[in-house]
Every structure is written in C-alpha cells, then in structure tokens.
Structure 1
Amino acid sequence: MRNLLADARLEDPCPPTLPPFSLTAEVTPVRRRRILFVTSELTDFVKAGGLGDVSAALPRALLAEHDIRVLLPGYRQVLKGAVACRVVGHLPGQAALPPCDIGELQLADGLRVYVVICPELYDREGTPYGDDAGNEWPDNHIRFARLSLAAADMAAGLATPGWCPDLLHVNDWPSALAPAYMAWRGQATPSVLTIHNLGYQGACPLGSCAELGLPEHAGLPESMEFYGKLSFLKAGINHASHITTVSETYAREITGEAFGCGLQGVLAQRRREGRLSGITHGIDASWDARSDPHLVARFDARRLQGKRRNAEYVERSFGLLPGRGPLFAVVSRLVQQKGIDLTLAIADRMVEAGGRLVAIGRGEPPLERAMAQLAERYPGRVGVRIGFDETEARRIYAASDFLLMPSRYEPCGLSQMYAQRLGSLPIARCTGGLADTIVDGVTGLLFREGDPDSYFEAVQRALNIHRYPELLNAMRCKAMEAPQYWSKAVRPYTRLYRDLLAELPVSVRR
C-alpha cells in the first residue's frame, strides 16, 4: 500500500517553504490575559464566509487559557436573537460616527460577546456588508469605522467598567482601523491583525478623513493612503503590533506581486521586521464523521459503510443517477476567486469520463446561472442547488469521493479540511492554505497552474485512483486523520499574545 500511495503523488507539487521564524514552541502557562477579539461576523448570529466560522471557533478554543471576549456590530440578527443583551456602557460619537451603546450577552457555553448597538448603522436586512441583492452598503466605511473606534475605546478602558483588554485581536478590514485609532491616540495596548483575505481592503474616498475623525497624516502613503483612496486594511498593516495570515504559505505569497494585491511592499517590510507570520487554521471538533448529527449515517476511517448511505441520500436529493464513477462535489461561494469558471470549463470532460457532480453555493449571478445551466445540460449527472444549507453541505462532504477547490488563491480554506474529515479527498490548486493542509497523493490531490488543463490532469488522476478501491480507501483514511482541531491550532496564538504583552514597558503592564 505504501507504494500505491507513493505512485499517486505528484512530484514536488509545492516546493517546501519555511517561515522566517517559528510560532510553534511550547507555551509556558501564564496569567489569563484579557483579549478583545473584534470581528464583523460570528456564525452564532451572522455569517458571510469563513471569517464567521473562525470567529466562532478560535475564541472558544482560547477560552481555556485567556479571558477572551468578542466584539461584534449589533446587527438585527444579533439583537433579535434568543440571547438577551444588556447595555453595559455608552460611547460618544466622533465626527460622522454616531454615538453607540455597548451591550453584553453571554452564550450558553460561556463565551461573552460585546455588541456595538447603533440601529442607524446596523439594524438592516441583508448580510453584514450589503443588502439581499448583493449591493454593498454605501456607508460601510462609517459602519466599520464605528466598530473599530468602539474597540479602541474599550482598549482605553471606556464603556466596559471592570474589564479592559490587555490586547486587541482584529480581523480583516472591517476592524483594521482599530490599531490605527489607538496609535494616533498614543494608546499602548498591543494589537494583532489577522488577514483572512487580502483581496478585500475596505477602500473609501480619500476625502473621508474628516467624517471618520482621522488626523490629516492618515491620508499619507505611510499610513492608509492607497492609490488615491483610504484603505482600512493598510491602516491596520501599518499600525498593528503584529500581522498574521491564516496559513504559512499565504504569509509568504502576499509579499510578492502575484498575491500582494498592491500591498506586497509594506507586507514584505513587516515580514523582514518579524511582524508578519502565518498561523494555519484548525477546524471545529464537530467535524467528525463518527458523531456528526447532520449526517444521514455516521462512519469512521476503517468502516465506511455509512459514507455510502450519505451518497445514496445525496443522489436522491439532487436527482443524480447511481453510477460507478466518482462523485465530485463543489461546496463553495460561486465566485471567480474560487475558480468556479475553471470547474465549468472542465465539466464536459469530467462527465464524459464517467464523473458525476453535485454543487451547492451562492455567489456571483453569472456563475450561478452557468452552474444551473450545467445541471440542465446533464440531468442525472450534475445536480446544482443555488443557496446554502449547513446540513446539506455536510452530507455532500460525507457523500462525495472528491471535493473540487480550484481556487485562484486561498488564504487558508476550511472546506478542504471539512471534506478530509468526512472522507472526501480535495482536488485543489497548490496555493495558500491548500498547499499547507493537503499532502499530494496522500490526503488529496494538488495541481500547480490555474488553468483548465492543469486542473483536469488532477481530475484525471482522481478518476484513475477511483478505479483502485484499496488505494482510494487508504487515502481516505489518511485524509480523515489529517486536519487539526482548534484545540491544537491555538497554541501559536497563545505564544504570540505572550510575546507581545512581554514587550510592553513595565509601567503600562496590567
């Protein structure tokens, strides 16, 4: 079997890379530090992408060692949820940023969540970032500057009597302005900015400085000016104590022109300074084929009969004919970044070679239509559902033989790890976190170039592997054991927090 696995591997699909330093050393227990985790999404209430999942899982995993609390905008979904929210403080407005209340709610498992209550900004139908038609809110710069300023105020000891964070951990552009507000005020609280996706930078007109309450020098290139606009994300990169990305490979990729989105220069400088590192995500422990209540039948790596029952359910649900070829799956946002157009480009060849395809997701309307048309062209061979449902998604992972992830870039990716845990082998481009979490020919399949031919070569390898059940099952076993849960993935964060807090002058340590 070892030879079969070796034969299935693509020779050196991704040259090995080493980060410039290590965040994996053992952590000595210290006093529970107060961490404010600032996010625009929390799956418990509202989610637009992977940030919501991470924001729900990472703070919970850190609770064992830290007094960590979450700060979230007071969206309608949050304030009308089942958990009662009590007002604990009030913050004044600044420039065009309206005043707000700070609410607090405690979830059943003990996680405390602070809420920025400002109905004129957040009490709306739609997603965290736009309306139900997919249009971004025109005042997003005001909405998320308000979130960032609230975080900076809380770090200054305002609004939450009896609890003041020792460190701020902000996420992506919606909260990236918080370290800048603190720096402009001279606050000493250290901060971590995690970049989940560099492609979204929170740009707004250069003339917005006044309404956001920014100093004049905020509009300079060394602060947050970016090609004639203001970039929230650039402000965070320039002013946070440390920047992390969500995988080691992505931390390296974004310092180059191909993936740097115009910010590669400042990111390369932060890496040279030792202030940029990659910490690969874990996944929630609920992703376990032996116990997942969402599944039609449960199974484990050695006894896979339950996987077949999930496949039968998905075949019925999506109108697929039973087949002897592999079942490929797409569980994804239907957007260009995810390479959905590449899947469409090879779909004819994949079906003609005996594969079947099931897809679930929502995204860009042209890609939604193209996926729906593909299903119409191949009834019984392709099933597509526009939308998303957690239970259906998990059953698709558990049912499928291979998950398709031809992403043009993928900072970390969670879907490949979800699929692995449920016995589906990811077929993915060798980029970002996909390169860090898939061992080619062992726990999935990787391809280098972002073009249809390179992609289809990997699919052809999958078709060949499917003809050898012993090899396929051996790879499934390896894949199901591969992803790490958050309980282990959090250790580098604990060490990073400790190091940043140790750098504070003794006079300002709490």
Structure 2
Amino acid sequence: MTEKLKVLFVSSEVAPFAKTGGLADVVGSLPQAIKELGHDVRVVMPQYSKIDSKYLSQIEPVLYFRTRVVWRDDYVGVNKLERDGIINYFIDNKSYFDRTTLYENDDKHVQFAYFCRAVLEMLPKVDFKPDIIHCNDWQTGPLSIMLKEDYQIYDFYKDIKTVYTIHNLRYQGVFGKEILEDTLGLPYKYWNWGVVCHDDCVNYMKMGIEMSDMITTVSKTYAEEIKTAEFGEGLDYVMRMNGDDLYGIVNGISYKDNDPETDERIYANYNSGDLTGKSENKRGLQEELGLPQAAEIPMIGLISRLVDQKGLDLIASVIDELMEEEVQLVILGTGNNQYEKLFREIARRYPQKVSANIKYDATLAQKIYAGSDIFLMPSKYEPCGLSQLFSLRYGTIPIVRETGGLNDTIQSYNEVTGEGNGFSFTYYDAQDMLYTIKRTISFYQQKEIWTKLVKRGMESDFSWKSSAKEYLKLYSKLVDKKSN
C-alpha cells in the first residue's frame, strides 16, 4: 500500500467551475480518483468572475495577504469550496481575474506569474505542505522555477517535488524577453542556460518542462509523437532532451458524472442491458434540432473546438460526397470564423441532414453523446481526447484518426476476429476518412454486429482508476516512497 501522499493540483481551469477544454475535465476528475485511493488531494485555480454564480455563492473565505510580482504589490485572497470531498482553493484578485476572457488578455504573462507565486505563498498559510505539486500546461509553467529559485531555501518548501503535465504542446505561453526581469524576477543565468527561452522569447511551457522534476503527457502515443518535428511544435528537441523524465499516461473520464443510467441531462436513461433509452435519445435529439425522426438513418455527432487541429478541413473537402449517404450530421462547437461559417453554410444547404450549433452548450453535448450513433474525430493530432471516451460510455461508436490518445484508446473493428471498439483511419486524408465513414455506416445496418459494438463500448472501462494508479507510482518514485 502506498504511503499517504499530499498532492496539490494547480490548474488555470477546473470543471465544473471554469472550462474551455479537456484540461478542466481532467483536473476536475483525476484528483477525485487519487483521493479514492487514500490520499490527501487538493486543487487550486484562479477565482474568475466567469465562474457560475451557483458555485461563487458557495465559496468561503479562508485568508488574505499581499505578494509581490517584482515591482507589483498585489492582494491575494484565498477562498475554498469543498466538493465531493476535495478541497478546491481559489486565488482571488479581481484586478487579474475579473475579465471577459480567461486567456486572451494582453497581460496574461503577469496574470499567471501572479497566480503561480500566490499558490506557493498560500501553502504555509493554509497549513498544507504537499509532497507533490502537480502543474498543468503553460499557465503554471513558472511555478517550478519559482519554487527552486525563491522558496526552497526555506524548510517548508525544500522537499516539495513538482510534476508538470502537458495537455497540448501547441499552446506554450510565449512572451518578450523583457518579462524575465519585469514579471518573473529571474536572473539572466536562466536565459543564458536556455531553460526559459525558445526562439528568443520567454516560453512558459518550456520553463515548466525544463524546471519540473517529472513531466507527463496525456497518452503514450503523444509522448512519443512530441519528440518528433512533426508533432513537437518547435520544442521536440526539449522533449528528446528530457525524454528520461517524460511519461505518457492516458486520460480517463468520470464515470460518476457521465453515466447514461443516471444522467439527468439526457432525454431518457439506459444501460448496456437495455438500450431502449438510447433510441429515445436519438428521437429526442432529432426533434429538438429539427431533423427528420428516422431511426434507420445513422446520426453522426461532432463536438469540437472549431480549429485546424480537429481535422475539419477533411470534412469540408468531402462534405458533398458525405451528404450523398443516408446520414444526419450534428455539429456543436465554436472556434475559427472560417469553420463556423462553413458549418452554418452546410446546414443551410442540407437542412434535412445537418444541424450546426455554433455555441458552447454542455447539456446539448451530453444529448449528442447519448443520441448519436457515430462520433467523428478526424483530428490532425490529439494529445489524448476525451470525446471518444464519452462516446463509448454512451454507446456511440467513434470514428477517429490514428494519432495520440485516439490511437491508444480506439481499436478499429475487425470483421474477421470481431475485435475492436470503433473505427479508425491512418493517414490524414479526406478520402481515407470518407471511406471509413462509409465502412462504419455499412456495419450500422448490420444490427447484431452494431449492438455488440455499442455494448462493448458501454461496458469498457476508461475511468480514472488505472491511470490514477500510474500517477501514484510516479509520485511515489519522486518522493521515494513505496508504490503498490
């Protein structure tokens, strides 16, 4: 049995409080899985004004103090909310976090440098000394170097280790070199050593990679991909140099929060033993979105940020050929204007086949997972992906490109052996994708095979149980405690 560990997750977003993507889902559910294995796990994030009022009204004040971000003298409020047995701390400063957007601010380098320093200075004041501080993505990149440079001279901090998780290497937090002194307060030796800079800019992601004690990313395939020029986003050399400290652990999802048998957000509940409710969800979704209510027509769902990464150019190039098939296509998401306009136009041209919902709507997302027959994820790259896991949980069969976590979680159906839990294509090619969609539709018409696939997906386990144990082994390795 692993000795009881104290772990602090530090993240710029945490579900259900604030979410722009999969990072929030991970930090909203992984700590719970680690806690259930017997450890003291807490979470800290900024207290954005955009947090839903039902949570803001529950947040309790803990303490306040002042900190310095070089020449800036700033207020720090520390508040908390306990949810499902996890203490969530919130760093409160309206000047930094009462904004209309989480990340698209001109002073975001200061926002998150302040956040990292406030988190470190909070710890002795709330009497919580973690064995591990688990940082996530570029927004927490400065924390490890601040810990080593400014705080580990003090007894309270000297044994604390840091783990840094890369959720998406593309977003790096890149700023002018002047912020090294002006915002981070770091000596130029770090610039000269190359641990904080890339392409003559300060790079928060590189800083986190170089200065943390251990690095993880969100699937085994992605951990190998980012060592290459094709997927390394310019930092592939950094990943290769730190390869001995890099581990890939596939993300999971919360099976408690995403259970078709109890989910109140969907039209009807169901389980793998009785799929009647699955059909009711399809009818309900077709009715709500104004599509023909036809059980025999396969419905393809797509829930995504509408950006290049997600393979949307493949869909655009074969959309007319796809519409020749007996299918319905339901899209949900926001993003680049070109793709928003594209899907609106497709829905206008094919009103009986396409519903384009250009918005963020968490409830509609669950209805699409439950009501669709097929879920499409033709990503150019995908560090892990969660949508394919939600789809399986709700009995919706994924079509994915074989990259990153999609490759690690979806095994293409083999009609000879009967193995597989979805369908996949290898090359980033629109015709390969279209062929795979047509192949999937052909099996949809074979109800005995399709039902087996649906039940197999629903009965598979992509919860956090096994991944949480892998994280614990890494934590224990760092603090020199015996793992299971």
TM-score range, shorter chain: over 0.9
Find the partner of 2:293 among 308, 313, 322.
322
173-182 vs 296-305, which moves further: 296-305
- Give the conservation status (yes or no) of the 8 Å contact 2:69–2:113: no
Q: Deviations over 1:61-93 (max 9, x none)?
A: 222322111111121134951213314242421
- Give the conservation status (yes or no) of the 8 Å contact 1:257–1:264: yes
Question: Which residues in structure 2 correspond to 1:31-430 (within 5 Å)?
Answer: 32-64=4-36, 65-78=38-51, 81-126=56-101, 128-129=102-103, 136-154=104-122, 157=124, 159-160=125-126, 162-185=127-150, 187=152, 188=158, 189-212=160-183, 213-220=185-192, 222-271=194-243, 273=244, 275-285=245-255, 286-323=257-294, 324-430=296-402
Q: Which amino acid aligns with 2:274?
A: R
Residue 478 of structure 1 pairs with residue 451 of structure 2: no
Q: Deviations over 1:441-486 (max 9, x none)?
A: 1211111111211111211111211121111111111111224212
194-203 vs 489-498, which moves further: 489-498
Q: Which amino acid aligns with 1:47?
A: K
257-266 vs 211-220, which moves further: 211-220
Query: 1-side partners of 2:138 and 2:72: how far apart?
Result: 17
Q: Deviations over 1:121-162 (max 9, x none)?
A: 111223x21xxxxxx20000000111122233346x3x32x2
Cα RMSD over matched residues? 1.8
Q: Which amino acid aligns with 1:118?
A: N
- Give the conservation status (yes or no) of the 8 Å contact 2:2–2:481: no
Query: 2-side partners of 1:117 and 1:186: how far apart?
Result: 22
Q: Deviations over 1:369-413 (max 9, x none)?
A: 111110000011111111122221111111111101011111111
TM-score of the superposition, structure 1-length normalised? 0.87
313-322 vs 180-189, which moves further: 180-189
Flag the 1:374–1:221 CA change in 2: closer, same or farther, 3 A.
farther
User: Secondary structure of 1:220's partner?
Assistant: helix
Q: Deviations over 1:165-210 (max 9, x none)?
A: 2221000000111011122236242100000000000001112112
TM-score of the superposition, structure 2-length normalised? 0.92
Give the superposition deviation at 1:97: 4.7
Residue 445 of structure 1 pairs with residue 423 of structure 2: yes
Aligned-residue identity in percent: 33
User: Secondary structure of 1:113's partner?
Assistant: strand
Give the superposition deviation at 1:424: 0.7
Unpaired runs of 5+ residues, structure 1, are 1-27, 130-135, 505-510
Flag the 1:238–1:97 CA change in 2: closer, same or farther, 3 A.
farther
Query: What number of residue pairs does the alignment pair up?
Result: 464
For 1:496, the equivalent position in structure 2 comes to: 474
For 2:155, the equivalent position in structure 1 comes to: none
Query: 2-side partners of 1:348 and 1:449: how far apart?
Result: 21
Query: 2-side partners of 1:50 and 1:75: how far apart?
Result: 18
248-257 vs 282-291, which moves further: 282-291
Give the superposition deviation at 1:218: 2.8
Unpaired runs of 5+ residues, structure 2, are 153-157, 414-419
Higher relative contact order (CA 8 A, sep 6+): 1
Query: 1-side partners of 2:32 and 2:73: how far apart?
Result: 31
Where in structure 1 do 4 or more consecutive aligned residues deviate above 4 Å? Answer: none
Q: Which amino acid aligns with 1:278?
A: G
Q: Which amino acid aligns with 1:313?
A: G
